[in-house]
Structures are given as structure tokens and as C-alpha cells.
Amino acid sequence: MIRFTNIYKRFGRLQALDNINLSFPASKSVALIGPNGSGKTTLIKSLLGMVVPDKGDITFKDSSILGSCDYRANIGYMPQISSYPENMTISQVMEMMKDIRQYNKLDEDLVKAFKLPQLAGKPMRTLSGGTRQKVSACLAFLFNPEVLVLDEPTAGLDPVASGILQDKILQETKNGKLVLITSHILSELDDLVDEVAYLQDGKVQFHKQVAALQAETGEQKLVRAMARVMENGGL
């Protein structure tokens, strides 16, 4: 569904992405992990059209996205740090996005599960970090995108809300969607992702099925499997 081919991106002296080759099919949940400065954010921004690669191509369903905007309607994005008009209420933000997107088949499962209608009149400036995360999650899923890009999705969420979001991710993966997740909390990814792509210094160190990673390391927990990989200097 999404393919990165020979992607390079440099910012001054920093080689942010160095010959990235990755392919992600539908019906998969993939963890994009790596240390700070590994290139994860630049890769995600390249997919979202916020960064233009110096070289290479990115395709969505076999069509190049470079220079195109139409494909973005098929992507739901949940940023780690959201930015909304602070004077608008939750309801106004949601309605504004609906007016912009003009899409009728809305997925309001999370809106109901997070009980946002009860908070609809609250201005964004008064919301806690966790509630802002709930709004961001709802907007990411709202327009039934084929691809979901979730950046540290459970950061700031309480355990109940985190569980609701994780269940939704699993459901949408079963429904045929591709879910890309960046997270530093590997323990929350154990039952959530099918594949792991590990980036470091702008390069893909490995991209594996979780089952294969578990078999090769002898560890069932992702955090322990990754620790074993680091101890062995990579796989």
C-alpha cells in the first residue's frame, strides 16, 4: 500500500534519511521505532507531504505521492503534540474539520467511547493534555482513512482511554487499514503491531515481522526483544 524507495533527505550537514527502502501493506499495524534523531519524524513528514525528499519516491497504492495532494484524504494523522485554535470549543473544531473534509461516512466510534459529546462546549485552551489527545485520536479516525499515522498515540492518555484506543487500532487493522505507530513505550506495542521497522542515523537497521523477531531473539516481549537486538549489535 505504501512504499518508500531510495529516499534521501538532508538538512544542512545532517543526513536525516539515508537510502530508506520500506514497504508496508494493508491490514498491518507497524511500529516505527528508533532513538531521537533516527529519522522517524522526517520519514513520517515525508509521507504526509510536510517534507519533500531530495531523492527517491514514495508511492501510495502504486501511485507516486510526490507533487500530489489528493492522497492525503486517505491518511488520518494523530500528532504527538496537537495545535488547535485555542478559543474554539471541541464541537467547533470537529465541525470545522467536517466542513473542510466534506465526508459523509464518518467513524465516530472514538467520539462516543471517549464521551466527547459531554465535553463538546469546552474551549480547547481549557483541556488537559489527555483530553487534547482524545480529540486528536477522534479526528485521525473520523474520516475513515485507509492509512493511519499515529505519533506517540497513548502519550498522556489514562489507562482506560489507552485501552480504548488500542482496541480501535486492532479493529481497524482487521478492517484492512494500514496503521503506522511511532512510540517510545514499547510495552504498549506487544499485542498491537505485526511488524517493526527500526531506524537509526537515518537508515533502516531492520524491518521484520514481530513473530520473526521473537523467534530470532527468544523473547516474547517487544522491549526485551529489542534489548537483545541492541546487545547483539543488530540482526
Tell me the average confidence (pLDDT) per consecutive run of 10 residues in the chain, 235 residues long.
97 97 97 93 96 97 92 94 94 95 91 97 96 97 97 93 97 98 89 94 95 93 89 69
pLDDT of residue 235: 56
Using CA atoms, how far residue 87 sits from 9, 118, 224, in Å, is 37, 18, 44
Strand order in the sheet with 2-11: 14-24, 2-11, 55-60, 63-64
The CB density around residue 79, as the number of other CB atoms within 10 Å, is 17
* Burial bucket for residue 74 (CB in 10 Å: 0-12, 13-18, 19+): middle
pLDDT of residue 77: 97
Q: Which three cell numbers stand for residue 65?
A: 505521492
* Parent domain of 225: 2-231
pLDDT of residue 195: 96
Q: Can you tell me the distance from the alpha carbon of 166 to that of 158, in angstroms, rounded to the nearest whole number? A: 12
Instruction: For residue 84, give the nearest of 74, 75, 95, 76 by alpha carbon.
Output: 95
What's the CA angle centered on 47, arms 101 and 44, to 5 degrees? 110
Torsions phi, psi of 169, nearest 5? -60, -45
- What is the number of structural domains in the chain? 1
pLDDT of residue 108: 96
* Burial bucket for residue 121 (CB in 10 Å: 0-12, 13-18, 19+): exposed
pLDDT of residue 230: 80
Instruction: For residue 110, give the nearest of 71, 75, 157 by alpha carbon.
Output: 157
Instruction: For residue 132, give the nearest of 113, 119, 147, 149 by alpha carbon.
Output: 119
Q: What is the CATH number of the domain that holds 125?
A: 3.40.50.300
Torsion angle of alpha carbons 146, 170, 131, 95, nearest 10°? 30
